[in-house]
Chains A and B, each alone.
Chain A
Amino acid sequence: ETGVTQTPRHLVMGMTNKKSLKCEQHLGHNAMYWYKQSAKKPLELMFVYSLEERVENNSVPSRFSPECPNSSHLFLHLHTLQPEDSALYLCASSQLGQGLDGYTFGSGTRLTVV
C-alpha cells in the first residue's frame, strides 16, 4: 500500500447509527487532516493532528469525533448525523517543517445520511 488509504469508499447510514471512517498513511508524514467536501464549496478543514496531537478543531459539531492513535492512522467517529452531513470526507497527510510539499489526499469516503 502506498500513499493515503481511506475506508470505506462509500457509506450510507441512518441518523441514529454510529459508524467510523478510517484513514491510513504510508508516507511517514507527521500531520494528518480531515476535510469535508460538498458540491461547489471549498474544502472545509475539520481537524488537524500534528504528531498525534489535535492542533485544530474548526467548530465541528460534536457528532463528529476524531481519533489519532498513532502517526499513521486517523479515524473519524460518526454518530447521530444529519442529512446535511452527507458529503465526501477526505483525509490528507503532510510533512510539517520541511518546506511546502503539499498535502497527499486519500480517495475519500462518500457519506450519505438518510
Chain B
Amino acid sequence: QKEVEQDPGPLSVPEGAIVSLNCTYSNSAFQYFMWYRQYSRKGPELLMYTYSSGNKEDGRFTAQVDKSSKYISLFIRDSQPSDSATYLCAMSGYGNKLVFGAGTILRVKS
C-alpha cells in the first residue's frame, strides 16, 4: 500500500464548477498537510497547508483534513480555466520530510 494515494485523473469540469480533489494516506503520524499546484513546464508551488484536522479557507480554495478517516480534500469554488494544472497533495510528520501523492490533473473548460 502506498503511503499517499491520489487519483491521477484527468478531471475535466466546466468553468464555474466546484472541484473536489482528494487524497488518502496510511501513516497516522502525519500532522502537516499541504496542497501544491503545478502548471505545465513549471515546478510545484505551495497553495495551502493545514496542521492536524479541520478546515482552512483562502479565497476560492478550501482545504479539509479528516485525520480519523486519513482523508484530505481541496475544494475549488467557481473554477476558472486558469485553475487548470496538476494538484499534488503532500504531508509529513513533525520534522520529517514531505511525502507526495501522484498528483491529479485538472482541466477547467471555458
Nearest Cβ on chain A to B2's Cβ, whole angstroms: 7
Q: Please name the residue on chain A nearest to B94 by beta carbon.
A: A100
Asked if B51 and A42 sit within 8 Å, CB to CB, the answer is no
Q: Which residues of A contact B6 (CB under 8 A)?
A: 42
Asked if B43 and A42 sit within 8 Å, CB to CB, the answer is no
- How many angstroms between the C-alpha atoms of A22 and B42 in the bound complex? 16
Known: A42-B99, A92-B43. 12 other contacts (CB 8 A): A33-B97, A42-B4, A42-B6, A42-B102, A43-B88, A90-B43, A100-B49, A102-B34, A102-B49, A105-B43, A107-B42, A110-B41
Total cross-chain contacts (CB, 8 A): 50
Q: Which residues of A contact B99 (CB under 8 A)?
A: 42
Q: Which B residues are within 8 Å of any A CB, using their own CB?
A: 2, 4, 6, 8, 32, 34, 36, 41-46, 49, 51, 88, 90, 92, 95, 97-103
A45 at the interface (CB under 8 A from B): yes
Residue among B2, B4, B8, B98 making CB contact with A103, cutoff 8 Å: B98
Residue among B32, B45, B100, B103 making CB contact with A100, cutoff 8 Å: B32
Asked if A42 and B100 sit within 8 Å, CB to CB, the answer is yes
